[in-house]
Amino acid sequence: MGKKNADKDRRARVEEMRKQQQATERRRTLLVMGSALVVVIVLVALVVTAIVGFRRDNPSEVNAIGLAPAEASCGEVISEATEGSGVHIGPGTDQPDVTTVEYATAPPTSGRHYPAPEFPAQAFYTAEDRPAMESLVHNLEHGYTIVWYTEDVPEEQLDQLRRISDIARGEEATGGKFIVTAWDDSYGEFEDDASVAISHWGAEQGHRQYCGDVSGEAIQSFIDAYPFSDSPEPNAQ
């Protein structure tokens, strides 16, 4: 009986030691895993912070550029009846002597226009290289959204508009039909002393919006609400 009890005690001690060793290994494993998890969390946080900072300093989406609509003094979108679809003016048309149109609004959302749109159109125009208004109105008829800016827009905001013009062209809603151009004051003044305006010729109505400063968020909302497909001639170039 003594030997059996000794063997039993020995097995019990061995089993207890095995359990203690397993518990120690489990604690070590949990400690290693916990430390690794902390490292991963820290690295993810650093990456996210870097990405957010990069996007803030180098915005890659229209929404991220410029001010919020309220801060940019953007008004509500104005929608109105359209006119002049398919009505061409200038040489080679039935109105050859008409080369300038007095549009109903500034900027126009529809109206008579030259037989040919500006094509291929640049994404951004200055006052020195902007196309004729009557050509750009034909672009509107084909589904373009045009952002117009006055000479009062500071250089920093011009840089913002240049970035917006490049990015917006790649969006599905524009189908590449997006232009930013300097406004010609001879065609009138924007409402509410605005320095930026957006216009689109829709299939049923024309649409325009005014902002005091550049708001990528307002421009993005406008693009989404009035895509190139909503136009009299969406399949034209």
- The pLDDT mean for the chain works out to 89
Confidence of residue 2 (pLDDT cuts 50, 70, 90): low
Statement: residue 216 has pLDDT above 80: yes
Conformational region of residue 176, where left means phi above 0, alpha means psi within -120 to 50, and beta covers everything else: left
Angle subtended at Cα 212 by Cα 208 and Cα 218, rounded to the nearest 5 degrees? 55
pLDDT at 65: 98
pLDDT at 13: 72
For 217-230, what is the mean pLDDT?
98
pLDDT at 193: 92
Statement: residue 84 has pLDDT above 50: yes
* Residue-wise pLDDT tens digits, 174-204: 999 999 999 999 999 999 999 999 999 999 9
* Residue-wise pLDDT tens digits, 31-68: 777 777 777 676 766 754 554 444 444 445 999 999 99
Among the listed residues 222, 185, 190, 208, the one whose alpha carbon sits nearest the alpha carbon of residue 110 = 208
d(CA 114, CA 142): 13
- Give the H or E element holding residue 216: helix 216-225
pLDDT at 35: 73
**Alpha-carbon torsion 180, 182, 187, 188, what sign?**
positive
pLDDT at 7: 65
pLDDT at 37: 78
| Alpha carbon distances (Å) from 152 to 162, 176, 193, 217 | 16, 27, 10, 21
Q: How many CB atoms lie within 10 A of CB 92?
A: 10
* Residue-wise pLDDT tens digits, 150-165: 999 999 999 999 999 9
How many helices (H) and strands (E) would you count in the chain?
4, 5
Confidence of residue 170 (pLDDT cuts 50, 70, 90): very high
pLDDT at 5: 63
For 129-141, what is the mean pLDDT?
98
Statement: residue 1 has pLDDT above 80: no
* Residue-wise pLDDT tens digits, 9-29: 677 776 777 777 777 777 777
pTM comes to: 0.76
